[in-house]
A and B are shown apart, each in its own frame.
Chain A
Amino acid sequence: MSRVAVLAGGQSLERQVSLRSGARVRDALERLGHEVVAIDAGPDLVDRLADTRPEVAFVALHGREGEDGTVQEILELVGIPYTASGPSACMRCMDKVLAKHVLRDAGLPTPEFYAFSQSAFEALGAARALPAIEERLEFPIVVKPAAQGSALGVRFAPTAAEVPAAIVAAFSYDTKVVLERHVAGRELAISVLDGPAGPEALPVVEAIPRGGDYDFEARYEIGRTEFVCPAELDDETTQRAQAIALEAYRVLGCYGFARIDLILDAVDGEPTVLEANAIPGLTETSLLPQAAEAAGISFAAFVERVLDLALARTPT
């Protein structure tokens, strides 16, 4: 039995989700008999860690600071083992641009894209390149902030006229935006969990919007999206998607667990990686716990395993 700090909340836009993930983790840890210290990750984080002296920290933070490697750096600094990926993998996953470059360099499929910082537009006249980009990517183009963990700020621009406003919206969330080729197809989420035999891909979850596109509203209205796990795919597609997810997990340098989101291209039937989440949601309805359950791993068992992995990790 250990004294475990559960880090949740924080200052990010995903604070509410994080609080729910944290509450569920805390509950599981208490039932497992651990001593739990709940810490709302704020300006007093270092002091709180020093005061409570946990043996290990469960990071249930989402979004900026929690998922981008910042908190992990602090935990490394104060020498407290923690769950999930280290700082560099967190940075690679949080920054969609970096993640896509890593994936592309490793030969993994990810939709074609261009990324720009705000200063590229303001100081380098990158706007002049927009027509060329639009021609390359074809409409509709997906515009999204590089580092926002939820669907916030993601826009579909059906024509050139909508691109500037979509870019402005994306810059509300980050100083870097991605313009990406839109791939139509089935939305798959594959969670990866480390184990004694190395990382394994959990059963595939498919997100099926009930009517219409899987748009902003579909993400935020309860009941608008149905999740099927395991997804109804043929064995070959399942294996191929899981192999790509595992490889993405590996090349991004993830540890413990992560979730890879893919699209099954409606045209060629090939899975392509949209992004990786270093600390995916762990709420009652989140995808990773659903996938774990489908694999016969209860939430408590998941939490216990992740904690063991944190303690087993050799300090970097």
Chain B
Amino acid sequence: MTIDETPRGPGSGGESHRMGRPRTTARDLERYAGLFARRTQGMKSSAMRDLMAITARPEVISLAGGLPDTSSFPAEDVAALMSRVAADASARALQYGPTEGMDELKSCIVRVMAEEGMDVGEDDLLVTTGGQQVIDLVCKTLIDPGDVIVAEGPTYPGAVPTFAAYEADVVQIEMDANGMRIDVLEEMLQRLDHEGRTPKFIYTVPTFQNPAGVTMGLDRRRRLVRLAAERELLVLEDNPYGLLRYEGDPLPPLYALDGGEYVVYLGTFSKILSPGLRLGWTAAPRPVLEKLNLGKQGADLCSSTFGQHFVIEYFARRDWRDLLGSLRELYRRRRDTMLDALAEHFPREAQWTRPGGGLFIWATLPDYIDTTDLLARALREQVAFVPGRAAYLDGRGGSAMRLNFSGAGEEDLREGVARIGKVVNEQVRLYSTLTGTAPAAPHEPVATAPAADGARVVPLRRRAG
């Protein structure tokens, strides 16, 4: 019961040689705190974030990030494209651009969306600073304090601080191997009706969901789109991973099914080209798009013109699908490696999803294991993951974890999973000892094939707080 008096928050990181220079006393802090907007109370910092800061140490194998493998992009290619931008369009690339984005870039976006069967007009697009900005702008446009957002449970951890900053009341709908449970969604909407509340939008990552790795089935996609139309609700379809498919046939995005009536689409160049460019986009119904545009003007006037020129150049000079193809190949192998390692090293009591694409696997441990605490133990073994609680706003997810397989090499993936497996097994054994129950028998030795048995694809169980 230590008294931990230290608020955690921005500015607390950094190496010692570039430590910040605080000029404040406790009284000063109080003075600033009095100036903070009420919504900042929702901007929570946490012990988990301090733990996550340690995962950045070079000796830690981090399965915590969501990083694409940027080394696949040849450096000489970057140099050549950059030089071209400098030589051909220096003055324009260094200048402000239109808020909605450059026309040439929009035509690239039309091509990317067509690849997934979406027919979109350039006038329906707004170029943004990463896909993340779309989430922010949609909240800025739609959410008054207390308004309801419906999201998946678990949801994209990066959306959590955005929802919290706009003081939204987030309702999370459980998922199973086929994504969001639409029947549960319907029940929830009815319950909200009784309370006289209507959600402003439904946030979903239907394809290779972050963090759960599951994909919404076609029937559910149709039902969701129909539901949105019947109830005149917006759906924010976040689709960063749709093109990172490693097996099976693609499913139509919600945007294609709905024809852009109630679906606001979020796309990004981060996973098919580079997150460092900070370029994403949204396709939205015209009245919504106009407000999003105004919101963006206030946020940053326009997204990086230099970055936009780079992408335009890239699409003009290269076949963008080549890089995508090599990324798919790379990530498929890494996914298989992680699935093999999980089958080999995780105990019988654990379950995990088997994603057909994307970057993440979601593992669920017995409910007596708290993955935030487990992370502290794992860090002693120099390995990190994202504790499941980061994907919920309601305290659920305490026994789950998100594992990323795109950002580490195969050897590190095997070693990282082995280390996590070691500490999980240790806790399973310990709990058995404490309760006098026997742990489940270990897995059969694993052959080279991935754990393809459908039984291991988990329904994402709802857990009590």
Contacts and interface: CB of A to CB of B under 8 A. Distances in A.
Interface in B1-37: 1-9, 12-17, 19-26, 28-29, 33
A8 B434 contact: no
Size category of the A interface is: 35 or more
Contacts of B320: none
Size category of the B interface is: 35 or more
Contacts of B430: 118, 121-122, 167-168, 171
A163 B434 CA distance: 9
* List of 8 A-B pairs having minimum Cβ-Cβ separation, nearest first: A164-B434, A23-B19, A172-B373, A40-B16, A172-B377, A165-B368, A222-B7, A38-B16
6 contacts: A16-B50, A26-B19, A130-B434, A152-B373, A275-B1, A285-B6
Given A20-B6, A168-B434, A189-B3, A293 B25 contact: yes
Interface in A258-281: 261, 263, 274-275, 277, 281
Given A16-B50, A20-B12, A152-B47, 11 more contacts: A11-B57, A13-B50, A20-B6, A26-B19, A150-B2, A165-B369, A187-B1, A221-B45, A223-B41, A275-B1, A286-B5
A13 B376 contact: yes
Given A15-B50, A19-B19, A293-B26, A153 B373 contact: yes
B427 interface: yes
B126 to A, nearest CB: 34
B44 A274 contact: no
A248 interface: no
B5 A281 contact: yes
Interface string B108-150: 0000000000000000000000000000000000000000000
A161 B34 CA distance: 43
B433 interface: yes
B3 A187 contact: yes
A184 to B, nearest CB: 11
Contacts of A14: 50
A149 B2 contact: yes
B436 interface: yes
Contacts of B379: 13
B326 interface: no
Main secondary structure of the interface of A (DSSP, over half): mixed
Interface of B: 1-9, 12-17, 19-26, 28-29, 33, 41, 44-47, 50-51, 53-54, 57, 368-370, 373-377, 379, 427, 429-431, 433-436
B377 A16 contact: no
Contact of B50 (A11, A17, A163, A225): A17
Contacts of B53: 15-16
B47 A220 contact: yes
A139 interface: no
Contact of A169 (B21, B22, B370): B370
B434 A23 contact: no
A280 B34 CA distance: 26
Contact of A289 (B9, B19, B26, B41): B26
A8 B19 contact: yes
A88 interface: no
Given A154-B1, A169-B370, A284-B24, A19 B431 contact: no
B50 A19 contact: no
B15 A40 contact: yes
A22 interface: yes
B398 to A, nearest CB: 10
Nearest to B30: A285
A275 B12 contact: no
Contact of A173 (B23, B377, B427, B436): B377
B1 A221 contact: no
A86 interface: no
A285 B29 CA distance: 8
Contacts of A165: 368-370, 431
A127 interface: yes
Given A164-B435, A219-B4, A220-B8, A9 B376 contact: no
B54 A13 contact: yes
Contacts of A22: 16, 19
Contact of A222 (B17, B21, B45): B45
